[in-house]
Amino acid sequence: MRLVSFKTFATAITLCVCVLMGLSAPDTQTTESVIPAAALQACEQMNAGEALTLEEKALIEAYCPSTEQSEEEQRRSSLDNNGGAFFVYSGSALRIPPTGNGGGAGDSTVAAISVSGLSGPIADVQVTIDSLRHTWDSDLIFTLQSPSGTALTLINHRGGSADNFFRTHLSDSAFIPIGSGSAPFTGDFRPDQPLSMFDGQSPNGNWRLRIMDGFAGDSGWVYSWRIQILVGTPPPCYDSTVTAPGAFIGNTCGAGYDCGLRPSEEQVWRVVIPADGEWTFSLCGSANWDPYLFIAGECCNGVIAFDDDGCGQSLESIIPCLSLVAGTYYAIIESYYSNSCGIYTLQIAPCAPPCLPPEGLTIQRIGADAFLCWRPVISALQYQIYSSPTPDGNFNILATVEDTSFTDVNPYGTAKQFYYVAAECP
């Protein structure tokens, strides 16, 4: 956004603006000699990226028209515009902490926004802290609570001894984590916990931004914040679904920030484990960067196991012989560092291969004979073929073979036959 120089600034100011501001209106035109000193100071603060009060923002709107944005420009510049509806805090400025100078868990300021009129579940949420003044930013913890009661930490003691938050945009798709930013945190940042935790919930109701001042000695004010909510069906939090065992090639570069387990892009595999047993998840020998590996019971939640550098000096990760029951799990791969990503191969294999039942049994009648075949089972030593004239009768062992096929000679002479095959493993 281009800002004019105050030394050359001269423009007409309408009567309605001046009356709203409670200022005297010039007859025709204003010059720098009649611009209030408070307005000049407010414009300088805006140029410096400092937080603004409501009064200072009004002065800027009246005396710095070149800095104004149309509604469409605001929509384009706010966050990364997820296409959802905007809702803005409309209350008065609130003190941080409400009384005193902070230092306790009860010293919390709550600024609420009421959301209504949206239809469908939440697909994406983004937040902007437009203007907040506070000395020593790291005193503060920001949490956001949805109408459903879910609360997540947006900003957790960030900014050190520096001051203020100004046009701080929080989005899961932002590249820079809030912990890597600096006051007044102007720009797009990824929050400390992912906003995707709200996905699927109802958007309507009160959204509460809670600001807790955890240390004594400093105070401030929150003036303005907003929330943007996109409704619809949220995209799946995982990138691909695979069935173990196997080797699967992936790339975390450009994969996005879905889980927030570490401050880096991650790729999420939905892994189907077909049988109870111990399973090994390995990145060894497949990456020339420093990948971190998580195994979770839920998508982005419920971490069961994790590893960093388990492969040794190669800095790659491995989780060996993890005891799992048959079901669905999530393998999450991301970098140890926030600015790193790369290609890898995720290898999933049974630690001691489980003895799975043979699949794909087919029976073909060839003349008077029955030809049986099936898919091989990893680690099977041999297969046992059973038969019975009735599907619910007693099955008797017919043969034991090491191959994955068998021919039953002339079984149809007396009655129809039913078969099943079992694998015998070590």
Between 195 and 353, name the one with better pLDDT.
195
> Which parts of 135-219 are beta strand (E)?
140-145, 151-156, 165-170, 187-189, 205-213
| Domain that includes residue 43, residue range | 6-68
Cis peptide before 245, with omega less than 30 degrees from 0?
yes
Within-domain flag for 151: yes
Give the pLDDT confidence score for residue 347 in this predicted structure.
93
Segment among 110-114, 115-119, 351-355 with least mean pLDDT: 351-355
Distance CA 96, CA 215 (A): 11
- How do residues 168-214 score in pLDDT, each as one tens digit? 999 987 778 899 999 999 999 989 888 888 988 999 999 999 999 88
* Pairing status of strand 362-366 against strand 369-373: antiparallel
For residue 173, being part of any structural domain is answered with yes
Greater pLDDT, 4 or 85: 85
Is there a single domain that holds both residue 63 and residue 81? no
d(CA 281, CA 295): 9
Tell me, yes or no, whether 294 lies in a domain.
Answer: yes
CATH, residue 418 = 2.60.40.10
pLDDT greater at residue 77 or residue 237: 237
Domain count, the chain: 4
Q: What is the rounded average pLDDT of the residues 281-310?
A: 89
Predicted local confidence at residue 62, as pLDDT? 55
pLDDT confidence of residue 21 = 33
* Dist. CA 98–CA 320, nearest whole Å: 52
| Shared domain check, 92 and 47 | no
Res. 231 pLDDT band, cuts 50 70 90 = very high
Residues 270 and 212 in one domain: no
pLDDT score, position 79: 40
Which pLDDT value is given to residue 68?
40
pTM for the structure as a whole: 0.49
- What's the rounded Cα separation, in Å, for the pair 99 and 86? 31
Distance in angstroms (rounded) separating the CA atoms of residues 386 and 401:
12
Angle between the 37-47 and 54-63 helix axes, to the nearest 10 degrees?
Answer: 100
Q: In the prediction, which pLDDT does 64 show?
A: 53
Q: What's residue 354's pLDDT?
A: 60
Is 149 a member of any domain? yes
pLDDT confidence of residue 230: 92
143-160 mean pLDDT: 94
Inter-CA distances, 310 with 49, 307, 313, Å = 44, 6, 9
203-230 mean pLDDT: 92
Shared-domain flag, residues 141 and 273: no
**Confidence at residue 27, expressed as pLDDT on a 0 to 100 scale:** 32
Over range 2-31, report the average pLDDT: 29
Do residue 346 and residue 391 come from a single domain? no
Residue 357, domain member (yes or no):
no
Specify the range with the lowest mean pLDDT, choosing from 32-46, 197-211, 365-379.
32-46
Which of 134-143, 166-175, 296-305 is modeled with the greatest confidence? 134-143
Predicted confidence band of residue 47 (pLDDT cuts 50, 70, 90):
low
* Per-residue pLDDT, 207: 98
Of the residues 231, 257, 285, the one at which a domain ends: 231
pLDDT at residue 200, as a whole number: 86
Considering the domain architecture, whether residues 188 and 116 belong to the same structural domain is answered as yes
Q: Are 101 and 131 contacting, i.e. CB atoms less than 8 angstroms apart?
A: no
pLDDT confidence of residue 100: 74
What's the confidence (pLDDT) of residue 407? 92
Beta carbons within 8 Å of 55's beta carbon, 6+ residues apart = none
The answer, yes or no, to whether residue 10 has pLDDT greater than 50, is no
Same domain flag for 89 and 145? yes
Quote the pLDDT of residue 340: 85
79 shares its domain with 183 = yes
pLDDT number for residue 70: 42
Q: Which two tokens stand for residue 171?
A: 């989005």
Structural domain ending residue among the three candidates 68, 97, 115? 68
Residues 125 and 227 in one domain: yes
- The pLDDT tens digits of the residues spanning 90-109 come to 888 999 998 876 665 567 89
Give the range among 158-162, 200-204, 233-237, 411-415 with minimum mean pLDDT: 411-415
Same domain, residue pair 119 and 214: yes
Q: Is residue 36 part of a domain?
A: yes
CATH number of the CATH domain containing 131: 2.60.120.260
Residue 225 in tokens: 């914040």
227 plus 78 within the same structural domain: yes
Between 217 and 282, the more confident residue is 282
> What is the per-residue pLDDT across 48-76, written as a single tens digit (0 to 9) for each?
556 666 667 666 655 554 434 444 334 33
| List of residues 6+ apart from 340 with CB closer than 8 A | 264, 289, 290
pLDDT in tens, 239-275: 899 999 999 999 999 888 778 788 788 999 999 998 8
Higher pLDDT, 34 or 240: 240
Q: Give 113 or 64, the one with higher predicted confidence.
A: 113
Tell me, yes or no, whether 407 lies in a domain.
Answer: yes
Query: At which of 231, 254, 289 does a domain end?
Result: 231
| Cβ count within 10 A of residue 218 | 20
- On average, the pLDDT of the chain sits at 80
- Name the residue with higher pLDDT: 287 or 80: 287
Domain assignment present for 356: no
Closest by Cα among 221, 166, 176 to 47: 166
Confidence check: pLDDT of 23 > 60: no
Q: What is the CATH number of the domain that holds 250?
A: 2.60.120.380
Q: Are residues 326 and 196 in the same domain?
A: no
